[in-house]
Amino acid sequence: GAVVSQHPSWVICKSGTSVKIECRSLDFQATTMFWYRQFPKQSLMLMATSNEGSKATYEQGVEKDKFLINHASLTLSTLTVTSAHPEDSSFYICSASTGTVGTQYFGPGTRLLVL
């Protein structure tokens, strides 16, 4: 149980284009989903908290107009990187909460390479 999927797993795009990443909870309903970014050999940095049916809450320093988050249902959240640039190249990981304190279930991540 508690499986989270992400799509796509890999994406390569040209600078200036937008990329959408989907995060789905497959066997549970997640009222809250989280988006992280991880650069090589670094920690996971929380980008935003996404609650179903409401606007996402962004962490300090994360541009909400660049990283658009939509949480349309209890099983789906999307992250759109708008006008991507090479410095946006990173490993983007989502997680979902079942409501159990202390645990989040992570998706397999999406590697974004912007050329």
* Interface ranges with another protein (CB under 8 A): 32, 34, 42-46, 49, 57, 93, 95, 97, 101-109
Of the pair 17, 39, the CB lying nearest another protein is at: 39
Neighbours of 55 (CB within 10 A): 12
Closer residue to another protein in complex, CB, 69/93: 93
What does the alpha-carbon distance between residue 115 and residue 111 come to, in Å, rounded to a whole number? 13
Query: Which residues are CB-contacts of 9 (< 8 A; sequence separation ≥ 6)?
Result: 108, 109, 110, 111
CB of 17 to another protein, least distance (A): 24
Q: Taking a C-beta distance cutoff of 8 angstroms, is the pair 111, 93 a contact? A: no
CB closer to another protein out of 16 and 108: 108
CB of 97 to another protein, least distance (A): 5
In angstroms, give the least distance from the CB of 85 to another protein. Answer: 23
